[in-house]
Amino acid sequence: MKIVRAIRQGHIVPGRTQIQKPQYYNLWDDNDQPREEHPMHIPAPKVKLPDHDESYNPPAEYLLTEKEKEEWEKTDPEDREKNYTPKK
Protein backbone atom coordinates (compact mmCIF):
# COMPACT_ATOMS: atom_id res chain seq x y z
CA MET A 1 0.00 0.00 0.00
CA LYS A 2 2.85 2.37 0.78
CA ILE A 3 4.26 1.98 -2.73
CA VAL A 4 0.86 2.67 -4.33
CA ARG A 5 0.41 5.76 -2.16
CA ALA A 6 3.93 7.02 -3.07
CA ILE A 7 3.18 6.55 -6.80
CA ARG A 8 -0.12 8.48 -6.51
CA GLN A 9 1.59 11.33 -4.62
CA GLY A 10 4.31 11.55 -7.26
CA HIS A 11 7.26 10.51 -5.11
CA ILE A 12 7.87 7.46 -7.32
CA VAL A 13 7.51 7.83 -11.08
CA PRO A 14 7.28 4.46 -12.87
CA GLY A 15 9.10 4.11 -16.18
CA ARG A 16 11.51 6.98 -15.57
CA THR A 17 15.15 6.01 -15.98
CA GLN A 18 17.77 7.25 -13.60
CA ILE A 19 20.43 9.55 -15.07
CA GLN A 20 23.77 7.93 -14.37
CA LYS A 21 26.85 10.05 -13.89
CA PRO A 22 30.08 8.75 -15.42
CA GLN A 23 32.29 6.93 -12.95
CA TYR A 24 35.55 8.23 -14.40
CA TYR A 25 36.55 11.67 -15.61
CA ASN A 26 39.71 13.44 -16.62
CA LEU A 27 41.20 15.09 -13.55
CA TRP A 28 43.25 17.70 -15.38
CA ASP A 29 40.69 18.70 -18.02
CA ASP A 30 38.27 21.53 -17.17
CA ASN A 31 36.18 21.20 -20.33
CA ASP A 32 34.36 17.87 -19.86
CA GLN A 33 32.44 18.67 -16.63
CA PRO A 34 31.57 21.73 -14.62
CA ARG A 35 33.93 22.59 -11.77
CA GLU A 36 31.45 21.88 -8.96
CA GLU A 37 31.07 18.20 -9.91
CA HIS A 38 34.77 17.50 -9.33
CA PRO A 39 35.57 16.49 -5.74
CA MET A 40 38.66 18.73 -5.66
CA HIS A 41 41.37 20.13 -7.89
CA ILE A 42 44.43 17.85 -8.19
CA PRO A 43 47.41 19.44 -9.96
CA ALA A 44 49.42 17.42 -12.46
CA PRO A 45 52.57 15.78 -11.09
CA LYS A 46 55.79 17.70 -11.54
CA VAL A 47 58.56 16.32 -13.76
CA LYS A 48 61.77 15.25 -12.04
CA LEU A 49 64.65 17.66 -12.60
CA PRO A 50 67.56 16.33 -14.71
CA ASP A 51 70.71 15.02 -13.06
CA HIS A 52 74.21 16.30 -13.76
CA ASP A 53 74.90 13.61 -16.33
CA GLU A 54 71.65 14.40 -18.16
CA SER A 55 72.66 17.99 -18.80
CA TYR A 56 73.60 19.21 -22.26
CA ASN A 57 77.29 19.63 -21.37
CA PRO A 58 78.07 17.25 -18.46
CA PRO A 59 81.37 17.45 -16.58
CA ALA A 60 84.13 15.01 -17.56
CA GLU A 61 83.63 12.90 -14.44
CA TYR A 62 80.14 11.87 -15.66
CA LEU A 63 81.28 10.76 -19.13
CA LEU A 64 81.67 7.02 -19.76
CA THR A 65 84.99 5.41 -20.56
CA GLU A 66 85.33 2.94 -23.44
CA LYS A 67 85.15 -0.02 -21.03
CA GLU A 68 82.00 1.37 -19.38
CA LYS A 69 80.40 1.97 -22.79
CA GLU A 70 81.02 -1.67 -23.79
CA GLU A 71 79.52 -2.91 -20.52
CA TRP A 72 76.52 -0.61 -20.98
CA GLU A 73 75.93 -1.92 -24.52
CA LYS A 74 76.19 -5.56 -23.39
CA THR A 75 73.52 -5.23 -20.71
CA ASP A 76 69.86 -5.70 -21.56
CA PRO A 77 67.86 -2.49 -22.07
CA GLU A 78 65.60 -3.48 -19.17
CA ASP A 79 68.54 -3.95 -16.80
CA ARG A 80 70.28 -0.66 -17.60
CA GLU A 81 70.38 1.93 -14.86
CA LYS A 82 69.83 4.76 -17.38
CA ASN A 83 68.51 4.66 -20.94
CA TYR A 84 71.11 7.03 -22.34
CA THR A 85 74.85 7.62 -22.35
CA PRO A 86 76.11 11.06 -21.33
CA LYS A 87 77.93 12.79 -24.18
CA LYS A 88 79.94 15.98 -24.40
Predicted local distance difference test score (pLDDT) of residue 70: 92
Predicted local distance difference test score (pLDDT) of residue 36: 56
Amino acid in position 81: E
The length of the chain is 88
pLDDT digits (tens, 9 = 90+) for 21-69: 666 766 666 665 555 555 677 788 998 887 777 777 888 888 889 999 9
Instruction: Examine the pLDDT at 12 and tell me if it is beyond 60.
Output: yes
